[in-house]
Amino acid sequence: MKLSEIADFLSLDYKGEDLEIKALNSLLRANFMELTYCDGEKNIKDIANTGAGAILIAKEYEHLVPKHTKVLISSNAHLHFAFLSKIFANSLISDVKEKKQQIAKSAKIMPNVYLGNNILIGENVIIMAGAYIGDNVEIGDDTIIHPNVVIYNDTKIGKKCHLLANCVIGSDGFGYAHNKNGEHYKIYHNGNVILEDFVEIGACTTIDRAVFDSTVIKKGTKIDNLVQVGHNCHIGENCIIVAQSGISGSSELGRNVIMGGQSATSGHLKIGNFATIAARGGVSKNLDGGKVYGGFPIMLQKDWLKLQAKIALKFKEK
């Protein structure tokens, strides 16, 4: 789509040289054929470093844009980006007549399974009844996809993984832009999910795809039932995420992090290697590795235990 057409579509002024835009991408990842956006304070520092061909940006930040990046001035860059995300979204279902499917002979596909186009199924993979395998999905050797699991388009799954019944991998993240009337516009997510080798995903657990790039669950990480992993999270190697935990978008866990049952994190934060979050811990800031945390607001678990004891004692006295 030409940049001039994009400007027309968004009813924005654009008078510079034209440009073919192939895709949308984030500030730091966009290349010269891609359009990006900046919607405010938190990303300003990255503007100067963008390699994007074009950017949607507020008038006040225009002077920060590097010369190689063409500018579309927008009073609501996030909303305009949402409109474009729909245009650039990959189609949910491919319309090809003959699907390209590379399925190992040793793989076992049970009845009532849906297999998309351009998929790659490794040796000894088992895909159990009722599972949905979207387009461009890759599944490594010896992985087992349990009944009624849904794997959306573009997901890459390693070897020797177990995906338990009714889990959902690669659904769109929960991202919206808003207009002045408080109406929400869906950000279509064109990233994907990558599950590395030896990953296990519990029943009815949901892993959202990235806006751009990938939501990544690294090698050996085990996730229990009914867990939510938001878009663009990076979960390190050998983590243990216990049932009903929630990890908000763009959070990063190091390796061997343990999240107790019903624990949670806010978005955009980092938890260091070998940190443990006790059950119900609510993480709202970055945490160093190697320690045990608990409570909400989060603190060292030993401090939380002491604090609760003191509170109980203090108010019992009176």
Q: Which residues are catalytic?
A: 231
CB of 9 to a copy of itself, least distance (A): 18
Chosen residue from 44, 64, 73, 204 binding a copy of itself by CB under 8 A: 204
SS (H, E, C) the chain: CEHHHHHHHCCCCCCCCCCECCEECCCCCCCCCEEEECCCHHHHHHHCCCCCCEEEECHHHHHHCCCCCEEEECCCHHHHHHHHHHHHCCCCCCCCCCCCEEECCCCEECCCCEECCCEEECCCCEECCCCEECCCCEECCCCEECCCCEECCCCEECCCCEECCCCEEEECCCCEEECCCCCEEECCCCCEEEECCCCEECCCCEEECCCCCEEEECCCCEECCCCEECCCCEECCCCEECCCCEECCCCEECCCCEECCCCEECCCCEECCCCEECCCCEECCCECCCCEEECCCCEEHHHHHHHHHHHHHHHHHC
Nearest residue (CB) to a copy of itself, 15 versus 182:
182
Q: Give the x/- contact pattern for a copy of itself in 19-58, rule: CB under 8 A.
A: ----------------------------------------
* Residue recorded with tokens 């799954």: 157
Count the site residues for a copy of itself by CB under 8 A. Answer: 75
Q: Is 202 in the site for a copy of itself (CB under 8 A)?
A: yes
Is the Cβ–Cβ distance between 272 and 290 less than 8 Å? yes
Nearer to a copy of itself, 36 or 166 (CB): 166
- Give the integer Cα–Cα distance in Å for 90 and 220: 30
- Position among 64, 197, 228, 300 found at the interface with a copy of itself (CB under 8 A): 228
Using the rule CB under 8 A, is 84 a contact of a copy of itself? Answer: no
Does position 87 interact with a copy of itself (CB under 8 A)? The reply is no
Q: Is 236 in the site for a copy of itself (CB under 8 A)?
A: no
Interaction of residue 76 with a copy of itself, rule CB under 8 A: no
Indicate the residue among 50 and 263 with the shorter CB distance to a copy of itself: 263
The footprint of a copy of itself on residues 148-187 (CB under 8 A) is 148, 150, 152, 162, 164-166, 168, 171-172, 174, 176, 182-184, 186
Footprint of a copy of itself on 283-312 (CB under 8 A): 296-297, 299, 306-308, 310-312
Question: Which of 53/254 has CB closer to a copy of itself?
Answer: 254
Residue selected from 3, 157, 243, 259 as contacting a copy of itself according to rule CB under 8 A: 243
Which token pair is 237? 């190697």
The residues in 91-150 that bind a copy of itself, with binding defined as CB under 8 A, are 92-93, 108, 110-112, 114, 126, 128-130, 132, 144, 146-148, 150
Q: How far is the CB of 299 from a copy of itself (least distance, A)?
A: 7
